Amino acid sequence: MYRLKLWEVEADELTNISDEFLYATPSITSFLRNDSSLFLVVATKGFGKTLLLRAKRQQLEAQDTGILIIPDNTMLDKPLGSGPIFSHQDLLRVNNDQVFWENTWLIAITIAIAKLVAAATGNPVSQTFVNRLNPALSPLLTGGLRTITEIFGQVLALPAKQYYDALPDLQSLLGPAFRDIHTPVVAFIDNVDEHFNAHLGEAAGASAGATDKGIWYLAQMGLASAIRQLHVQNHHVKIFASIRSEAFGRLLQRNQLIQQLEGSALRIKYEPEDLREIFVRHLVAEKDANTVEPRSRDPFARFFGSQNLLIVHPRVGEPEKIWDYILRHTLGRPRDLMTIGRKLSAVGRAKRTDQAIRRAVNDASKDIATAYLQEVNVHFDQSIDFDRLFALIPKNVLRSHEMRGIAQTYTGGNDNYVPNARNPYIHVFCSLFKAGLLGYIAKDMGSGLAVQEFSALGENLFIADGLLPASDYYIVHPALDAHIRTRSSLYARGMDTLNIAGNGRDWRNPSHQSAVIKADVVGYSKIMLDASRAATFSTEINKILDEWRGRLAHVKSEGGDGIVLIDRNAANLLVAIRAIAARLAADPYNAVLRAGADFGATERSGLALRTAARLEAIGSPGVLCATAEFANEVEKIDDRQARIDISAAPKLSKCPRRGDTFNIRKNRKDPDLWKQVVVFPVFEWAKE
C-alpha cells in the first residue's frame, strides 16, 4: 500500500500520487476531470503546480484510453538547463514582442505533436510536406528531437533571418497539419519559468550582458497564448502547462481576451480550511513513535500533546489554537506547511514543549521568508536591500507617517520621487504590500468589524506606482518577524500588545484608555523591621520591575512597596502582576501583594488610577480587586482567566451595595464611586 511521503516539499520526489497525498479543492477536482476546460495551472512558487500536472498525467495513464502523451519518456516536458542569453541585437528584437514568443511556441508545439502522431500511427510525414517546409524547420520535423521544449529551444536559437523566412510556414503548413490531427493527444509542459531564471538575476539589463526580466515574463505569456490558440484550432489536442501568476497577471493586463484566458486557467488557491486538511493528513501519517499522545483521536493532540493545543502570544497574552499559530507564520502555501511540518517532526516527542514548538515554527518561518524575499525581489522595478530596510523597522504595526519616515531614511532622505516610467520611485512598503507581506485594516463585509487583510501571493502586479490601500494602521506579516528580529534591535520589544498579526484576524483599535493595576506589599512594615531584608528589598523590587519595563507602557515603584502598572492590554497586566507577586513571595522576602485594577483614563491621575488605588485599599492579600471594565478587557484577549467569589475580599462587604455594584469611595466626604467589582486570584492558591 502506498504511504504518504511525509512533509515532502518537491513534487518531483514523488513516484506516485495517491488520493491520500493530493488534496483536491473543487477547482482542482474540476481540473482533473476528463472534460475539463482548464489547461493552464497558474500560481506562484510553492502552490503545487508541478504536483497537479503530474496528477493529471497519472490519471490519464491509469485510464489507458489510447491517448498519445508527450513527453513519452518522462512525466512532464521540462526545458533542460538554463535558457538562452541573447546578443544585444537579438534582445532588442525579442524583448517586448509577445507575438514572437507566441509564434515560437506555436511552431515548436505543432512540429512536436505532428512527429508524435506520425510515429504512433505508423504514418510518417510525407516527403512532399517535408520538402515544402523551410530548411530551417524541416530538420526539426525529421530529426531526433521529440519534446516540445527541445524543439522550442532550437526555434528560439534560429538567426533572425532564418526565423522570419520560416515563419510563414506556421500559417501555410504547420497550422493546417495541426488542424487535420484526429488522434487524441495530450501534452504536459512545466518549469518554463525556471528555464529563464537567468533573466531575473542581478545582471538583468546590465550593459555587460544581454538579459532582461521581460524575457522571463514573455516566455510564459507566449506559451499561454499559444495554448489558447491551439485549443481553439483542434479539440483532439490538449496541452497543459504551468504558468507563474506573475506572468499570467501581466498577460491579462496586455490581452483583450481576459475572460477566455481566465476561463482556461486553474488559479490554485487554498482556503485556511484546505491548508488545515493538508497539514492534518501529514500529522495523521506520523508514526506513533513520533507522537506525544499516540492514542488521541485529535490529530493535533496526538502529535503535539493536549497541553500544547493553545499557544499564548508572548506580547499580546492571547491564547490561540496551535493550528492558527502555525498558519499565520506561513504565506498560505502548501510548501510552507511542509517546511514547518518537517521542522516540527524533527523535534523529539519528549522535547515537544510550547517553547520548542515556537522555536521550530519561527525557524521555519524565517526560512520561508528568506526564500520568498529572494523570489520576489527580482520582480520589483528596483531590488530592495531587505537587510538594510529591516534594520529600520522598529515594530510590527506602523502608521503611514512612520512608514514614510522609514522609506525616506532607506532612500537617503529624498522625498522628491515621482512614480513614472523613467523614475520608478520604489516605496519599499508598497513593494511589501504587493508581495503580500504588509497588511492593512479593512472592514469585513459580513460582520462590519475591522479585520486585518493581506494580499494573496500573486494577486498584485509588481508595479512601482507607490500606492497603498488607505488604512490607519499597517501590519508586518508575521512570517517576517523572525527575520526582522535578527536585523532590528527594537523590533521584538516594539511588537504590538493588542493585536496578533494575521490575515483575517479581528483588529482591536487602540484607544486613549488603558488598563492600570496598583499594588502594594501586605505587611511591608515587618519587612522594614528586619534589617537584612530591608537593606535589599527596594533594590530587589526595582530589579523585578525592570524585567517588565519596555514590555508594558508604564512601570513604576512608589513609596518603597507600591507598584503601578499601565498598559493598553489588561491581560498582559494580569500576567505581569502575577509574575511579580510570585517573585516577591519567594525567599527571603515572603511578601504578599494586594492589588486593584481598572480600565479607563490614566493621564494626569485620571479616574482609572484613583479607582485602582481605592480597590487596592479594599483588597485582600493574594487577590486582585478589579472593575468589570478591566475584567471585560481581560476576557476580550484571554477568556481563560477565572474569577473568584467576591468573598475573597472581605472589606467589600463594608461598602454600600446596590445589586452587584459597590460604592468604593474612601469616605463620605468623597463623591460616590459605584463600581461592579470582580476578584481575580493573584496566586493559584487564592482560587481555593
Domain of residue 539: give its range: 514-687
* pLDDT band at residue 527 using 50, 70 and 90 as cut-offs: confident
Q: What is the CATH number of the domain that holds 652?
A: 3.30.70.1230
Q: Are residues 217 and 324 in the same domain?
A: no
- Report how far residue 117's alpha carbon sits from residue 125's, in angstroms, rounded to the nearest whole number: 9
Q: Are residues 623 and 673 in the same domain?
A: yes
pLDDT above 70: percentage of residues in the chain = 94
pLDDT at residue number 446 = 83
Q: What are phi and psi for residue 519, nearest 5 degrees?
A: -140, 155
**Regarding beta strands 657-658 and 661-663, do their DSSP bridges make them parallel or antiparallel, or are they unpaired?**
antiparallel
pLDDT in tens, 74-132: 999 999 998 888 888 888 889 889 999 999 999 999 999 999 999 998 888 899 999 99
pLDDT in tens, 532-582: 888 889 889 999 999 999 889 999 999 889 999 999 999 999 999 999 999
pLDDT in tens, 292-336: 999 999 999 999 999 999 999 999 999 999 999 999 999 999 999
- Report how far residue 157's alpha carbon sits from residue 388's, in angstroms, rounded to the nearest whole number: 41
C-alpha cell at 248: 499570467
Number of domains present in the structure of the chain? 4
pLDDT at residue number 424 = 41
* pLDDT band at residue 4 using 50, 70 and 90 as cut-offs: low
Q: Are residues 428 and 468 in the same domain?
A: yes
pLDDT at residue number 156 = 96
Q: Are residues 128 and 262 in the same domain?
A: yes
The answer to whether residue 196 sits within a structural domain is: yes
Over residues 360-377, the mean pLDDT reads: 95
Q: Are residues 369 and 403 in the same domain?
A: no
The answer to whether residue 538 sits within a structural domain is: yes
Listed residues 212, 241, 267: the one ending a domain = 267
Q: Are residues 263 and 298 in the same domain?
A: no
- In the predicted structure, residue 289 carries a pLDDT above the cut 90: yes
The answer to whether residue 24 sits within a structural domain is: no
- Per-chain mean pLDDT for the chain: 90
* pLDDT band at residue 460 using 50, 70 and 90 as cut-offs: confident
- Report how far residue 454's alpha carbon sits from residue 646's, in angstroms, rounded to the nearest whole number: 45
Listed residues 218, 246, 267: the one ending a domain = 267
Name the nearest CA neighbour of 600 among 503, 494, 504, 514: 514
Contact call for residues 132 and 140 (beta carbons, < 8 A): no
Residue 472 CB partners (closer than 8 Å, separation 6+): 399, 441, 509
pLDDT above 90: percentage of residues in the chain = 73
C-alpha cell at 94: 525579442
Q: Are residues 637 and 567 in the same domain?
A: yes
pLDDT in tens, 503-520: 999 999 988 899 999 999
Local structure of 669: helix, strand or coil = coil
The answer to whether residue 499 sits within a structural domain is: no
Q: Are residues 557 and 665 in the same domain?
A: yes
- In the predicted structure, residue 444 carries a pLDDT above the cut 90: no
Residue 52 burial class via C-beta count within 10 angstroms: exposed 0-12, middle 13-18, buried 19 and up: buried
Q: Are residues 226 and 185 in the same domain?
A: yes
Listed residues 217, 234, 267: the one ending a domain = 267
Q: Are residues 536 and 652 in the same domain?
A: yes
Q: Are residues 390 and 481 in the same domain?
A: yes
Q: Are residues 324 and 398 in the same domain?
A: no
- In the predicted structure, residue 457 carries a pLDDT above the cut 50: yes
Name the nearest CA neighbour of 39 among 352, 262, 221: 262
CA 169 distance to own-chain centroid: 48
Contact call for residues 238 and 267 (beta carbons, < 8 A): no
